[in-house]
Structure 1
Amino acid sequence: MFTYETADQKEVRRFRIAQFNGRMATVKSGDSTITGIVRSVMEKESSIPPRWTITIIPSQPKAKAASLRPAPRIRPFAEDYF
């Protein structure tokens, strides 16, 4: 599990929406990037300004799907037909 702390309300809202919808979320922290399912979003009530602790379960990003359209066929002697 990966724990991330932030004070950005827009980012917290994005994580809550991802958690509610069961979607994967991506966090960039320094030079590392973590992608996974959001497990919890908890507010630290005693801090000013408000801060949130977000727990993410890392998972492998989905592999890119193969193209649905086949590659164009090359006709090496196409000029012979004209």
Structure 2
Amino acid sequence: MFTYETADQKEVRRFRIAQFNGRTATVKSGEATVTGFVRSVLEQESSMPPRWTITIIPSAPKEEPKSLRPPSRVRPFAEDYL
């Protein structure tokens, strides 16, 4: 799990919408980029200005789709070059 802390209300709203709709969200923190499902959005009430802690469960990177057919082994028009 990845924990992210922010004070940006627009960003928090985006994470809450992603959590409600079951969509993935992407976070850039420094050099790290994490994409996954939002598990929780918690407000820290004792801080001023308000801050939120967001927990994200990283999803596995997508694999490239494999071709349905293997490539042709016979070169078309190969006899034209002989």
Partner of 1:23: 23
The code of the aligned residue for 2:7 comes to: A
How many angstroms apart in 2 are the aligned matches of 1:10 and 1:64?
Answer: 33
How many angstroms apart in 2 are the aligned matches of 1:62 and 1:50?
Answer: 35
Task: Figure out how many residues of one structure are paired with residues of the other and give that number.
Answer: 68
The structural deviation recorded for 1:64 is 5.8
Structure 2 gap ranges (5+)? 67-76, 78-82
Q: Relative to 1, partners in 2 of residues 1:18 and 1:64: Cα closer, same or farther, differing over 3 Å?
A: farther
Q: TM-score, normalized by length of structure 2?
A: 0.75
Partner of 2:59: 59
Structure-to-structure mapping, 1:1-82, within 5 angstroms: 1-63=1-63
How many angstroms apart in 2 are the aligned matches of 1:14 and 1:23?
Answer: 11
Structure 1 gap ranges (5+)? 67-75, 77-82
The structural deviation recorded for 1:65 is 6.0
The structural deviation recorded for 1:24 is 0.2
Q: TM-score, normalized by length of structure 1?
A: 0.75
Specify the SS of the correspondent of 1:46: coil
List structure 1 segments (4+ residues) > 3 angstroms apart after TM superposition: 61-66
The structural deviation recorded for 1:62 is 3.3
